Amino acid sequence: MKKIMMTMAAALMAVTMNAQSMYVGGSLGYSTSSYDGSTLNTKFSFIPEFGYRFNDKMGLGIEFGYSSNKNEAKDPTVTTTDLTVAPYFRYTAINMGKVSLFADGMFKYVSSKDELKDNKGNKSESTVNSWGLYVQPGIAYSLNDKFSLVAKLGNVIGYTSSKPDVSGAKATSTFQLLNLTNNIQFGCYYNF
């Protein structure tokens, strides 16, 4: 048993030493809209990310996400909260000096909760669980050895299956092709 543990530790150290680098970062977003001084919609998102580059072309990473969208335009007020976990494989197709173009092959799981609250204080909640497979293109610009700016577009191709968390509910499936303007993200990385 001791030999197996030592061998596994040595293999892990070899992989770590051969890795080009690790990175940590993500994106942050906030928006609000109002009409005649009254708030209609408020959105907030926080998506931290961690990744590990094996070489100049390939790497693995994971995103964790939290987002909140509060729509007060109608009665009842609807607040949607999403929690996301999304591991991905990254392939960098083009390196042009400080600029690189990449694509992430991603599996994404989202737990989404809607809370409805009317003017009388009555509340109701519903939850939807979904998973999806996506190919998401992106571009990175290296400011220096430690910092990079990153932009990710929507999906070149994607499949999502969503199901409400109630007894007897049926799943809804969605296929996407060249949906590049959906879910655009801007962020930064710190490279180790």
Give the span between the Cα atoms of 136 and 176, in whole angstroms: 11
- Tell me the per-residue pLDDT of 95-116, one tens digit each, with 9 for 90 and over: 998 999 999 999 999 999 988 8
- Do 124 and 90 touch, CB atoms closer than 8 A? no
pLDDT tens-digit map of 154-182: 888 889 888 887 777 788 888 888 877 66
pTM: 0.76
Note down pLDDT in tens along the chain; length 192 residues: 445 444 544 544 454 444 458 999 998 888 887 776 666 788 899 999 999 999 989 999 999 999 998 887 677 788 899 999 999 999 999 999 899 999 999 999 999 998 888 877 788 888 899 999 999 999 999 999 899 999 998 888 889 888 887 777 788 888 888 877 667 888 999 988
Instruction: State how far the alpha carbon of 183 is from the alpha carbons of 98, 110, 131, in Å.
Output: 25, 14, 16
Residues 105 and 89: their CA atoms lie apart, in Å, by: 5
Other C-beta atoms closer than 10 Å to the C-beta of 129 total: 15
List of domains in the chain: 2-191 (2.40.160.20)
